[in-house]
Amino acid sequence: MFYSLEENKAIVRKVVEALNNGDLALLDEFVAPDFIDHAHRTRNLEEYKQYIIMVRKGFPDYNETIEDIIAEGDKVWVRYKFTGTHKGEYRRLAPTGKKVTFTAVAVWRIVEGKIVEKESALYNVLDFYKQLGVIEYKGFPDEVK
């Protein structure tokens, strides 16, 4: 069965909504069991769910807002804004209570109505850890005043 570009975008929107609501059971409907997330190094849906659980424990108010969404062929590009408050342990980091915001880009590949791959996620990792207060990053030497 062929899914239209609009149907593929709707699938990604539903997955983002499920992630925001912590409704991991809904992922079973829209994500393939052998889903691969290259950015977060998960090799199947269950590993991806464990990754999301870890993120949501660290940032219980986890929220992704889709700012742009483009579909072509079997891929959907999403530019979204992430916000969350670091209230729980995240990657062995004790809670800082700090709110973080960043913009990221993800490319999702969909086959027969199921997301099979997340090819990339781009965001400024240094800025993320700077917002948490974990590192002090002042910029490259030519940027420092």
Give domain status of residue 131, yes or no: no
Residue 11: predicted pLDDT: 98
Give domain status of residue 129, yes or no: no
Give domain status of residue 41, yes or no: yes
Give domain status of residue 84, yes or no: no
User: Does the pTM of the predicted model rise above 0.85?
Assistant: yes
Q: What are phi and psi of 73, to 5 degrees?
A: 60, -130
Beta strands at 99-111 and 114-122: parallel, antiparallel or unpaired? antiparallel
**Domain CATH for 117:** 3.10.450.50
The residue ranges of the chain whose pLDDT is under 70 are: 1, 137, 139-140, 143-145
Give domain status of residue 32, yes or no: yes
Return the number of other C-beta atoms located less than 10 Å from residue 50's C-beta.
12
Residue 97: predicted pLDDT: 98
Domain count for the chain, please give it.
Answer: 1
Residue 119: predicted pLDDT: 87
Structural domain including 23 reads 5-79+104-121
Give domain status of residue 26, yes or no: yes
Q: In the sheet where 31-37 sits, what is the strand order?
A: 31-37, 114-122, 99-111, 75-85, 63-72
Residue 145: predicted pLDDT: 58
Give domain status of residue 142, yes or no: no
Give domain status of residue 91, yes or no: no
CB-based burial label for 115 (10 Å; 0-12, 13-18, 19+): buried
